[in-house]
Structure 1
Amino acid sequence: MSSTVADEAMIEEAAQWMALLQSGHASTQEQNAFRRWREGDPRRAEVFNRMGSGLSILGNEGLRRMPRENLLHTLNAPSGRRSFLRTTLALAGFASLASIVTRLSDTWLPSGTLRTGTGERLHLTLEDGSALSLDARSKVVTQFDSQQRLLQLLDGKLLVDVAKDSQRPFIVETEQGRMRALGTRFLVQQGEGQTQITMLHSQVQIITRSGAVQVINAGQKATFNAQGILKLEAVRGGEAAWTQGLLQVRDRSLGEVVEALRDYRRGIIRISPEAASLRLSGIFPLDDSQSALQLLAKSLPVQIEYHSPYWVSIERR
């Protein structure tokens, strides 16, 4: 994808998020999804903030009072969407958008940061020989020295196959604590206020921010916060399927499935609470979210509506 096309897609995504948030109808789930979208690329925050400046000139109160149906109608119509973008971007001073996007970079991130965007995965070998995989919309800082091998997971999900090194422990750190590998292969996900670790081989020692300690073994999954272990359960299988571009679920809610698809699809996926509570099992392609949505529509009593290429809603039939 060329930089120009990518920039236009980012602007349209920002416009759709702005319309949803300003409508006053955004759910908590959608607000969390917006936060992840915005934090997934520093350029998005710049685009969104400038767009917000333009809307403040237009009058945010009037936009908030606009019925949701009117907003959807505006964004569904190509002429209305172009008008919305032109007005907002002109007021926000986007005459030099190309130079702004080019100028912005990841220099605000610490040295040694690895990151992925929407729909991207990264597989590489670290300097110690360990194999690392990053899921979409993930950020991790690598800090290797003579004393330790440290990965700081800032956001998203990683899988690591740790190379043996008797002199330097291998540690993965999140907001909630540290996980010290005891020669192992495991998966870590930084969630909202909690960390989840899935053991695929050997053992890991968890030390939470408060000092609680727990050792988990292969075949176990632990969820913890800064205070302690919240849940310890058996691995269901398929947790690492994302490394192959697949989403494998067993008796999971549709809401959880959609949450995973959001990292692989640009724009908004809105799902009603009634649809989100439906449960299912299956294997879905992450790299083709359109096909994944079609499979969901065939296997569950849901109706999927495409309001625009960047705005999809799922309702229970």
Structure 2
Amino acid sequence: MRADEAVIDEAAQWLALLQSGEVSLAERAAFEAWRVADPRHQQIIEQMGGGLNLLRNPTLRGLPRNSLLHSLNAPSSRRRFISGSLSVLGIALLAGLLGRRFGWLPEAGELATGTGERRDFVLADGSALTLNARSRVVPFFDSDQRLLALRSGELLVDVAKDPSRPFVVETEHGRMRALGTRFLVQQGAQATRLVMLHSQVEVVTASGARQVVTAGQSALFNGAGMLSVERSKGHESAWLQGRLEVRDRPLSEVIDSLRTYRRGVLHLSPEVAGLRLSGLYPLDDSDRTLQLLERSLPIRVIWHNPYWVSVEPRPVL
């Protein structure tokens, strides 16, 4: 992410936090500290709908903070937001961005989790569903099929047997069809990842490409087709126990995972985003994880305040 895009990303998260009406005094103070820390911060805030006057718009006030924040932290939503033209972002347009066409308002029957929350559900057919933090899914069950539309985040589903109705999980990149199985699905910015824990699933991408993925395999696909099918790493479900297990992954992926487990802004400098690492980290104590990362990588974690943290390159002495 370029530097200017990172500032826009952070400004969008602050605006969503502040408009909710649930902001604490400490969070508001954290925003003010962020705003005055860099002239670009104030400039972007002013461009995004006329500055803080935006927050007085009754269309926006009171929208659920968790719904907005987990959507803003979903990479695909961030990229769509950032790609908009700031020169025409007035109150009406931003209200539209926060509307249903971007999936930022709850849909009928929606199941969702907030910041740092994992939650179990029992679906109408008896299937067991677990959502990771800041995830959203909408069930569509009828006499012909059982469909879960994953709007953002990550889920694990243990499918109840019902030979008369196929079970389908849908993302923006395609569909995964199963009859009786257990698997993980994560929707990312550019692709969907499927991890098979039991039995098998047929993937049909948005372009019509098909692939059967069996137990012990992990598949990555986008709307155009299959990107990879390989043996699963065996740690993809560690989040169910509140752990983040990483094996030779970039720091950017770790920070993305931590963002769904903490409030406020967690900024990552592009200079260190590509650093590779392996390790086991606590999701439910993101402060501790950031401290561990600082000890093992050439980075420094700057704690501006509890709601604004920056990860930067470590200065060369």
TM-score normalised by structure 2 residue count: 0.71
Percent of aligned pairs with the same amino acid: 51
CA contact (8 A) 1:25 1:68 kept: no
Answer whether contact 1:138 1:155 (CA < 8 A) is retained: yes
1:112/1:305 Cα in 2 relative to 1: closer, same or farther (>3 Å)? same
1:196 aligns with 193
Q: C-alpha deviations, 1:72-113, integer Å up to 9, x for none? A: 8x9xxxxxxxxxxxxx65x4574989x942899989533211
2:177 is aligned with 1:180: yes
1:228 CA drift (Å): 0.8
The answer to which structure has the higher helix fraction is: 1
* Match status 1:47 vs 2:30: no
Superposition RMSD on alpha carbons, in Å? 3.3
Does 2:214 align with 1:217?
A: yes
Report the Cα distance in structure 1 between the residues aligned to 2:291 and 2:150, rounded to whole angstroms. Answer: 33
Taking the aligned partners of 2:212 and 2:62, their CA distance within structure 1 comes to 45
Show structure 1 runs of 5+ residues with no match: 1-23, 49-65, 75-87
| Counterpart contact for 1:182–1:202, Cα < 8 Å | no
User: 1:19-168 counterparts in 2 under 5 A?
Assistant: 25-27=3-5, 37=13, 44=16, 47=19, 69=38, 89=52, 91-92=53-54, 94=56, 100-101=61-62, 108-168=105-165
Is the contact made by 2:17 and 2:65 (CA closer than 8 Å) also made in structure 1? no
Aligned length: 256
Rate the CA distance shift 1:288–1:202 in 2: closer, same or farther, 3 A. same
Which residue identity lines up with residue 147 of structure 2 in the other structure?
L
Name structure 2 gaps, 5 residues minimum. Answer: 21-34, 43-50, 68-99
Aligned equivalents of 2:56, 2:277: Cα separation in 1: 45
* 8 A contact 1:130–1:163 mirrored in 2: yes
- Asked if 1:279 corresponds to 2:276, the answer is yes
Whether the 8 Å contact between 1:182 and 1:205 is mirrored in structure 2 is: no
SS in 2 for 1:167: coil
Question: 1:263-312: per-residue Cα shift (whole Å, max 9, x none)?
Answer: 11112222223322222211111111111111111222221111222221
- Give the 3 Å change call, closer, same or farther, for CA 265–184 of structure 1 in structure 2: same
1:9-45 deviation per Cα after TM superposition (whole angstroms, max 9, x unaligned): xxxxxxxxxxxxxxx94345x656777x58xxxx938
Distance 1:32 1:102 in 2: 19
Q: Does 1:235 align with 2:235?
A: no
